[in-house]
Each structure stands twice: as C-alpha cells, then as structure tokens.
Structure 1
Amino acid sequence: MKTQNNFAHFSRGGKLSTPYLKFTKVDAETAKKAFTPQELKQIMDMFVYFDKSGNKTIQRDDLGFALRAIGYLVTTIEIRELGNYLDPKKTSTLNFEQFITACYNVRNRKPNKQEIINALKIFEKNKSGYIDVKEIKSIITKIGDVLNLTEFDTVISEITQQHNGFIKTDDLVNLLIMS
C-alpha cells in the first residue's frame, strides 16, 4: 500500500501545516477485507441509505454525514481532503468503492504527531518540556473522550519519566501516538 500526502493547509497563523489525513491508496477489495462482516454490513447499509437517487452513488456532500452516521469522528477539513482525494475530477458523486476506501482511510488514520505536540505545548509552563500532571489529569478526565481517574492513572503510569508531579511532554506525545 502506498501512502499519499497530496494536501497542505494554512494554519491560523498563516504557516503551512501538514494535512489531517495521509491517504492510503487501496483497492476496494483490500479495503473490504479490513472490516468485520458486521462493519461491512453497516457500511453497505449506510451507503444504500445515502444513495438517494438509487444509481449506486452518494453525493460527495453527504460523505461527512455518512461517515459520522457509521460512527467515525471526522472534521470538516478531513472530509474536504478525503473528498478531494477520492473525487479529484469533482464529479460530486462517490461510488461504493470510493466510499469503502474513505471508510478504510478514516478508520486507519494515524495521528499527526506535530499537531499533538503543538496542542500539548499549550500546557507546558515556561516552555520547559514538562506538563503538570494535575492540569492534564483535570483536562483528560473532563473533556472530549474522557477517562475516569483510574483509567488516567493507569495510562500515566506507563510514562516512567514523572518529575515532581510533571510529565515529560515528549513521553506523553509518544504514549498518545501509540494508543
């Protein structure tokens, strides 16, 4: 499988940033094999549901709705990038092979390490390379896909470099990318 990185975006600061998804060029049969029979049925059912005209295609504008209905968390930018990747001629429709490829790419996406680093740098005091365990614990146990306190303590215990209540930012980044 070949990974393509065709897109770049400007961040709020006007600097060039890396794309949200790196796409894997994969044929539909290979993509289908990556899913369990139950997942494949759900994907097929969702495709049929969004095939409003009955011509075995869905509107490119419905891609985000369909992916989210399956349960994938995708951003508007990721959907736009995926649409551009799957439909470079801008036909505005996607067939099932393109849709299953979209599902495969979203499911198998890898986190963007630089984005995680940038996000965690916000929590560093004085750009020290360390984050206060209490502060990150407060955030992770209350926002987003929350962890309970026991889960947090289990995850953090995997990071061996705790220094007086601080976690080395690089260690936390590596842990987040592994999971």
Structure 2
Amino acid sequence: MKTQNNFAHFSRGGKLSNPYLKFTKVDAETAKKAFTPQELKQIMDMFVYFDKSGNSTIKRDDLGFALRAIGYLVTTIEIRELGIYLDPKKTQILNFEQFITACYNVRNRKPNKQEIINALKIFEKNKSGYIDVKEIKSIITKIGDVLNLTEFDIVISEITQAQNGFIKTEDLVNLLIMQ
C-alpha cells in the first residue's frame, strides 16, 4: 500500500489542493479485507444502487452521496479531493475498485455518538440536554457542509420538538448517526 502525500499540488489540472489529506492506494482485494462481510455487502449494495448505467460504474458526482449513505462522515472538500485522487484523468466515472478504495480511505470516519453529543453540548442552555432549534438551524444552514432551509426543515421534522422550541440533544445525535 502506498500513501500519497500531496504537499506540492494545487487544485488546477486535476491535482489535489489540500496538502493535509492523505489517501492510500490499494487494490480491491486488499481493500475488501479491511471490511466485515456486512460492511462489504453494504458497500457493494450502495455501488449497485448508484450504478444507474448498468456498466459497473458510478458517476464521480455521486461519490459523496454513496459514502454518506453508507454512513461515513466526509466533508464536501474531502469528497472533492478523493474524487480528484481517484479520477486523475477526469473521466467523471468510478469503477468498483476506485469506489472501494474510497471506502477504504474513509472507513474510520463513522460517527461516534458520544463525540457528537459532547460537541453539541456547547449549544445547550445550562447543560439541560436540549438545544434551541433556531440556534442549531442558524449553524447548520450557514457553517461547514450546510443544509439549505428546506433540507433542515425535513431533517428536523423527524425530531419531536418541545413546545418551547428546543429539541433533545440526544434525539438530534440519534438522527445524525442513524443508518
């Protein structure tokens, strides 16, 4: 396995722009060994789901959706950089070997419930276990990998809100890590 570090690369010409991201090039057989049979089935099922053409390929633009649907926490920037790494010729399609390489490189990025709860505690009032919906909406729709207002409303509608406009922190976390 070869780890590629890209300190000299720029975002132009299909080269990586983030010097801190490292990806490991592995063949499909080696990558498969890193997953349990259940994880491997989930990866294969997701690949088949996104293979709309039936050519055993997926669109590079669907990489993020597929990885997130499996349950990996990846940012938009990581997805873009991974796409550039996997598809240096800019074909805009990925085969299964490239897809499982992507999964291999992000396999340790599944959410840890307690870490997410701890991160959200700063938004709780008086350590009550509840978060103000307006405050979390402002953050989620403006910072990081943002949701638009409609997406936020759809997500938040899954959570029972207290009458005072607050939601339980744990309910939000459970929704975020739901698989």
Provide the TM-score with structure 1 as the length reference.
Answer: 0.56
Percent identical across equivalent pairs? 94
Following TM superposition, by how much is the alpha carbon of 1:26 offset from its aligned partner in structure 2, in angstroms? 0.9
The runs of 5 or more residues in structure 2 that have no matched partner are none
Q: Report the aligned-residue RMSD.
A: 9.7
SS where residue 122 of structure 1 aligns?
A: helix
Match of 1:7 in 2: 7
Conserved 8 A contact 1:34-1:104: yes
What is the CA deviation profile of residues 93-141 of structure 1, one whole-angstrom value per residue up to 9, with x for unaligned ones? 0000000000000114799999999999999999999999999999999
Partner Cα separation in structure 1 for residue 61 and residue 154 of structure 2: 41
Following TM superposition, by how much is the alpha carbon of 1:19 offset from its aligned partner in structure 2, in angstroms? 3.8
Residues 154-163 or 5-14, more deviating = 154-163
Inter-CA distance 13–65: structure 2 relative to 1 (3 Å threshold): closer
Residues 167-176 or 92-101, more deviating = 167-176
Conserved 8 A contact 1:141-1:147: yes
Partner Cα separation in structure 2 for residue 50 and residue 158 of structure 1: 25
Following TM superposition, by how much is the alpha carbon of 1:42 offset from its aligned partner in structure 2, in angstroms? 0.2
Structure with bigger gyration radius: 1
What is the CA deviation profile of residues 32-56 of structure 1, one whole-angstrom value per residue up to 9, with x for unaligned ones? 0000000000000000000001110
The alignment covers a number of residue pairs equal to: 179
The runs of 5 or more residues in structure 1 that have no matched partner are none
Q: Runs of 4+ in structure 1 displaced over 3 angstroms?
A: 7-20, 108-179
Provide the TM-score with structure 2 as the length reference.
Answer: 0.56
Partner Cα separation in structure 2 for residue 114 and residue 17 of structure 1: 32
SS where residue 108 of structure 1 aligns?
A: coil
Match of 1:45 in 2: 45
SS where residue 105 of structure 2 aligns?
A: helix
Partner Cα separation in structure 1 for residue 65 and residue 74 of structure 2: 10
Partner Cα separation in structure 1 for residue 107 and residue 146 of structure 2: 20
